[in-house]
Amino acid sequence: MIHPAPGRPSRDPGSFARGRAEAVRAEGVERMRAGRTVASFARDSGDRRDLLSMLDLPDPDAEPDTAPAYDAHALSAALDAYVRAVATTVGVPPEGVTCEVTDTATAYLALSRRVPEHPGRDLMLLWTECQGWAVSVETRPVEPAIVLARLGGDPVPPPLSVAGLVAHALHPDGPPPAQPVTPLDRSALVERLSRYLR
């Protein structure tokens, strides 16, 4: 058992994630303030739009239906937490994990296992917000994808379900159910993924 050094408080294991989430929220507030400041210096609506766009700042006076329905920074932090939880459950070290949010949210986990049908080829675990999780064979960019198993239904399944998908891909005992993923809008995706922030 590790004991904290005398005179130092013990650390809550979830404090970093909570601190990070608070920093993301605070950054959103500061970006909105910066947007107000920049907008106040604009000569007209076109100048305002151009300035805010160049600086990638939100329009503080945007109508609710034209404002982004989600916080991209919050989505990125929540996706990172979820993917780390999946990686831990599946047994993938941090250096074998990457995720990003662009026009679509995606994740990649390098699996250290292979299947006899594809000797000499590594496996990867992929996730997209539209297609969910899939176990695939690593291919060259010019080759078509080789998907071994796909997990449909919930786009944010529990990490244990994803581990079950990997186990099925390694030792298939019949085809997995081929149900499509039910996509979520980005706000709902942030909400679901945020459960993994600690």
What are the boundaries of each domain within the chain?
15-67, 73-196
Which residues face 150 on adjacent strands?
134
Q: Quick one: pLDDT at residue 162?
A: 95
Q: Quick one: pLDDT at residue 182?
A: 80
- How far, in Å, CA of 57 to CA of 89, rounded? 37
Q: Quick one: pLDDT at residue 34?
A: 81
Judged by phi (left if over 0) then psi (alpha if -120 to 50, else beta), residue 4 lies in beta
Q: Quick one: pLDDT at residue 141?
A: 85
Phi, psi of 33 (to 5 degrees): -60, -45
Q: Quick one: pLDDT at residue 163?
A: 94
Q: Quick one: pLDDT at residue 63?
A: 58
The model's pTM? 0.63
- Residue-by-residue pLDDT tens, the chain, 198 positions: 444 445 544 444 444 555 555 666 667 677 778 888 888 888 888 778 877 777 777 787 775 444 455 678 889 999 999 999 999 999 999 999 999 998 889 999 999 888 878 788 889 999 999 889 999 988 888 988 888 889 888 899 999 999 999 988 888 775 555 567 888 888 889 999 999 987
Nearest to 105 by CA among 68, 66, 134, 132: 132
Q: Give yes or no for a contact between 196 and 185, defined as CB atoms under 8 angstroms apart.
A: no
3-state secondary structure (DSSP) of residue 133: strand
Q: Quick one: pLDDT at residue 1?
A: 44
